[in-house]
Amino acid sequence: MARDTSDDTPITSRDDLVGRLESGSKPRQDWRIGTEHEKVGFAKADRRPVPYEGQGGIRQLLEGMEGLLGWEPILDEGRPIGLVDPTGGGAISLEPGGQFELSGAPVETLHQTCSETHAHMAQVRQIAEPLGIGFLTLGASPVWSLAETPVMPKSRYAIMTDYMPKVGTRGLDMMYRTATVQVNLDFENEADMVRKMRVSVALQPIATALFANSPFLDGKPTGRLSERSEIWRDTDNARAGMIPFVFEDGYGFERYVDWALDVPMYFVKRERYHPATHVTFRQYLDGALRDELPGIVPTRGDWDNHLSTLFPEVRLKRFLEMRGADTGSLRRILALPAFWVGLLYDDEALGAAYDLVKDWTDAERQALRDQVPSLALKTPFRTGTVLDVARQAVALSRAGLARRARLNSGGDDETVYLAPVEETVALGRTQAEVLLDRFATTWGGALDPLFADHIY
């Protein structure tokens, strides 16, 4: 999750909020790629989750990374809960159950994403290995119960932990037991944002299928291929899902703002976090917290923080966030931004992708979202399956990356990063299905081999 901001510029009108989103518009030469990925840690000695405090804990890992990188610590009531590059690069943060996240710097090419991700993994291993910490390449914590999962000392998470059971049955699983990879991408103007958002919302279930990698929970198969995606179906549907209003005539920045205004808040942050789950942002603007928080007025930081607590399949801030994929191996982490950059950063590919999805109905998109966690590529769609759509989308992405023609020092273009998903569509099998096959055969119905074979 994003680091909370503290911009104290007052908000005076709804137009300020619309302008805040619109200010993300950038000319093509300034478009960047920002990749985020989470990883579930475990103690190698006993394959238990990693606590925050103590020998071999998350706090020691963060402090070791601070010493190695020279990044500035992010503190919550005096405890480190993340790191930030003071030169404006990336950041490291903790998810509620100790999932270790890199929010990468905004870079120009996927080759730079590759270099950044490899460097990060090497740095993490340098600190984690002496502490006896390993990291799984799965989209969900496969073995430990929710009760066994540690709780990170981050104030906003305490508010969320109290609130989640009131609005869905799986919110705590989402917070404490899932891991994702996402990419953040830019738009040129409102029209470009609208087209990119419609394409990416429609195709997000396709990405979920391609990257399905979380078939286990509580020490056994769940019967689904992306349990992480299934968990999101009943986390908090007021702030998550396929946001069908994106496809309505006239959709733009104003419509997204109006939706966001009517979603309950989590908190207002000043010196500390003040719970605000009983009001929407619109009510906050209208003075609903005036008596509880005297002297506090809505600010740009409040709005930015609120936007970061909305969880649709594609999230609009001053950029677009693709949120539908399970995390996976290093190769698959790199394949996720490659898939979306190829589709959204090339005009021809974007146009073809729009033609592919433009006549899909709300009901069809929702049916994909509902079925893909279980069936992935085998999900029925019209006269075929999701595999047929995935094959087309991957081909469009490849063509878009080839036209970008961004070469590395070896003369390779960015299509090299698509290899994992090209293998997936060629075989018609997800990584989750590979894991389930191994579980049923060579692993003998045990998950112990995960902790040796599927780590970074």
Contact 190, 252 (CB under 8 A): yes
Q: Which residues contact 245 (CB under 8 A, 6 or more apart)?
A: 251, 255, 259
pTM higher than 0.95:
yes
DSSP run (H or E) holding 81: strand 79-84
Least confident of 47-51, 84-88, 302-306, 374-378: 84-88
Helix, strand, coil share (%) of the chain residues, nearest 5: 45, 15, 35
Residue 314 confidence (pLDDT): 98
Q: Which of 113, 64, 312 is nearest to 204 (CA)?
A: 312
Three-class SS state of 427:
helix
Please indicate, yes or no, if residue 3 is contained in any of the structural domains: no
Q: Which of 90, 77, 81, 145 is nearest to 119 (CA)?
A: 90
| pLDDT digit string, tens, across residues 160-179 | 999 999 999 999 999 999 99
Q: Which distant-in-sequence residues (6+ apart) come within 8 Å of 189 by Cβ?
A: 25
Region 323-338 average pLDDT: 98
Please determine, for residue 5, whether its predicted confidence score (pLDDT) is greater than 80: no
* Of residues 415, 242, 234, 431, the one with CA closest to residue 327: 431
**pLDDT given for residue 6 in this prediction:** 72
Calculate what percentage of the chain has a pLDDT beyond 70: 99
CATH of the domain at 290: 3.30.590.20
In a domain, 383, yes or no: yes
Q: Is the pLDDT of residue 2 over 80?
A: no
- As a whole-number percent, the residues of the chain with pLDDT over 90 amount to 98
pLDDT tens string 88-135: 889 999 999 999 999 999 999 999 999 999 999 999 999 999 999 999
Domain for residue 224, yes or no?
A: yes
Q: Is residue 335 part of a domain?
A: yes
326 pLDDT more than 80: yes
| pLDDT value for 54 | 97
E strand map for 166-308: 180-185, 216-217, 220-221, 240-241, 267-269, 273-275
* pLDDT on residue 130: 98
Q: At what angle do helices 362-375 and 386-404 cross, to 10 degrees?
A: 100
- The confidence score (pLDDT) of residue 12 equals 87
In a domain, 282, yes or no: yes
Identify whether the C-beta of residue 433 lies closer than 8 Å to the C-beta of residue 116. no
Tokens for 425, please give them. 């569509």
pLDDT of residue 97: 98
Question: Taking 90 as the threshold, does the pLDDT of residue 180 lie above it?
Answer: yes
3-class secondary-structure state, position 447: coil
Lookup: tokens for 33? 């790629």
Q: 386-428, pLDDT tens digit by residue?
A: 999 999 999 999 999 999 999 999 999 999 999 999 999 999 9
Q: What is the mean pLDDT of the chain?
A: 97
**How many folded domains does the chain comprise?**
1
- Structural domain containing residue 216: 14-453
> Residue 6: inside a domain, yes or no?
no
* 89 within a domain of the structure (yes/no): yes
Concatenated DSSP letters of 155-180: HHHHHHHHHGGGT-SSHHHHHHHB-E
pLDDT at residue 1, as a whole number? 46
Residue 63 lies in a domain: yes
Residue 201: enclosing H or E segment and its boundaries? Answer: helix 190-210
